[in-house]
Amino acid sequence: MKKSTSKQLRLATVSGMSVRASFDGGAMSSDFGAVILAGVDRQTGVTQRLASAFEDRRHASYIEHHLIDLIRQRVYQQACSYEDGNDANSLRHDPAFKLAVGRKPLDEDNHLASQPTFSRLENAATCRDIYRMTLALVDHFISTEAHPPKVLIVDMDHTNDPTHGQQELSFYNHHYQQYCYMPLTIFDGLSGKLITAILRPGKRPTGKENAMIMKRILMRIRQQWPATNIILRGDGHFSNPELMQLCLDDGNMDFIFGMTANKVINHLAEPLMRKARALHADRQGYAQGKPISNTRLFGEFEYAAGSWPQAFRIIQKAEVMALGDNPRFIVTSLDLPSPKVAYTQLYCSRGNAERYIKELKNDLACDRTSDSSFLANCMRLIISCAAYNLIHSLRTETLKGTMLANTQASTIIVRLFKIAVRIVQYKDRIKLQLPSACPVKDILAQVTEILYCIPPPKRA
């Protein structure tokens, strides 16, 4: 590691003694988490899948950093909250990241890649590379299941990705009142696993576009899980005839979408709304002026818009609040759940996808799409997705039974990854010295033992 030439840091006196700090601690790192991520990656193989999907067009005689090393370095840095490419200029000398990538940590002639190398990598991506890497994320999701599941709930949602420059395909979105991208994120609704994500222009998607994207993803899943009942779930802007027809064509696929009301739907829903208003008024009378909770009734009826392939079941929530009526509707091809179960348990659970998106954006910076090239920004989104997959696998598998098993990615990064470590390299071994007062000793002991004892799975 390079020695710092920074001046000495002066701090407040303690018990009459002066306090000074300097950057002469030697081979130390503040990111022990990079080593943990490398262990998780060996188990899951997500970076290997991405590297295999990317065509390396560099001339062999000029290659200093292999593609797999570049992918791993970028993903591990992203997972440790180093989302900017410029961070690589200093982290390329960090012994923990060098060790994680598979290099001797203290050798001076094997530094990692710098920011210009990553810029060239991102801007070298083609449409074919992005397509293959997007499907590689789907393949990784499939590989995380030991057996085909009986039911797979696929949560689809678009999110706002603000742009602040001259990025390609950045459009003004009236709903968000700003220029942005609108990436499509796709999660497993039961486990929170990321299936894949696709960067999109900032304009509102059409039903044909949604169906085109989902058809390719679902075909990939169907190749491995032909008997799985797949349920597509999304809010109102997914209730379009193209996605409905996609489900009908499959035969073992259903959907449950939010539904925007119109005059016909409001007319069909009016009888249950009148009943809810009357019940709410009776409850107010019994309460004798005390505040009461909202009154909710659930019902259903059939409805077919002119563009729909057939009539479908409309689930109605007739809700009366202190401020007035609050009706809500969903449309589904499912016929088994009762209206209340279909709405409160099946549809409302899609709110978890908002939490997953928040984690992907706020903790893993999937919206750091500041490159001028659209394809380069696609590459950045995929890197964030890989970082999410590593942390999700760590949280749900390796950290099971610990106090970090149900925490957000940001908590895991702060509590488990940001740990100082001194690295000592001998001729035949490498020794990592952690703080004696480390508050997560027991968790680290469990994590490292699991990653050490369980061999990586064999891959095709």
**In angstroms, rounded to a whole number, what is the distance separating the alpha carbons of residues 186 and 80?**
23
Same domain, residue pair 132 and 146: yes
Same domain, residue pair 291 and 159: no
Asked, for residue 11, whether it belongs to a domain, the answer is no
3-state class of 443 per DSSP? helix
Same domain, residue pair 370 and 430: no
- Please state the rounded mean pLDDT for residues 356-371: 95
State how beta strands 151-158 and 229-234 pair: parallel
Same domain, residue pair 206 and 134: yes
- Can you say whether the dihedral through the CA atoms of 89, 91, 97, 99 is positive or negative? positive
pTM of the model: 0.93
- Please state the rounded mean pLDDT for residues 52-67: 93
Asked, for residue 333, whether it belongs to a domain, the answer is no
Which range, 6-20, 21-35, 101-115, is most confident? 101-115
The number of folded domains in the chain is: 3
CA nearest neighbour of 55 among 142, 152, 128: 128
**Residue-level pLDDT at 22:** 83
CA nearest neighbour of 44 among 406, 411, 392: 392
Asked, for residue 156, whether it belongs to a domain, the answer is yes
**H and E: helices and strands count for the chain:** 15, 17
**What is the average pLDDT score of the chain?**
93
Q: Tokens 């295999």, residue?
A: 52
Q: Residue 415 carries which DSSP code?
A: I
Same domain, residue pair 131 and 204: yes
Alpha-carbon dihedral angle through residues 408, 409, 414, 420, given to the nearest 10 degrees: 140
- Please state the rounded mean pLDDT for residues 61-65: 90
**Residue-level pLDDT at 454:** 80
Maximum separation of any 2 CA atoms in the chain, in Å: 85
User: 216: number of CA atoms within 13 Å, CB side?
Assistant: 14
Same domain, residue pair 420 and 447: yes
Banded pLDDT at 18 (limits 50, 70, 90): confident
**Residue-level pLDDT at 459:** 60
Asked, for residue 1, whether it belongs to a domain, the answer is no
**In angstroms, rounded to a whole number, what is the distance separating the alpha carbons of residues 255 and 300?**
16
Predicted confidence (pLDDT) per residue in 221-252, tens digit: 999 999 999 999 999 999 999 999 999 999 89
- Please state the rounded mean pLDDT for residues 158-171: 93
- Please state the rounded mean pLDDT for residues 376-400: 97
CA nearest neighbour of 270 among 316, 308, 219: 316
**Residue-level pLDDT at 1:** 47
The three-state DSSP-derived secondary structure of 247-275 is HHHHCCEEEEEEECCCHHHHHHHHHHHHH
Same domain, residue pair 191 and 306: no
Q: Using an 8 Å Cβ cutoff, are 310 and 304 in contact?
A: yes
Same domain, residue pair 156 and 231: yes
Asked, for residue 160, whether it belongs to a domain, the answer is yes
Asked, for residue 73, whether it belongs to a domain, the answer is yes
Ranges of H-type helices in 288-350: 339-341
* Domain region containing 216: 127-258+351-375
Same domain, residue pair 254 and 273: no
Same domain, residue pair 235 and 357: yes
Asked, for residue 3, whether it belongs to a domain, the answer is no
Same domain, residue pair 220 and 361: yes
Q: Residue 332 carries which DSSP code?
A: E
Asked, for residue 10, whether it belongs to a domain, the answer is no
Same domain, residue pair 363 and 247: yes
Q: Residue 205 carries which DSSP code?
A: P
| CATH number of the domain encompassing residue 224 | 3.30.420.10
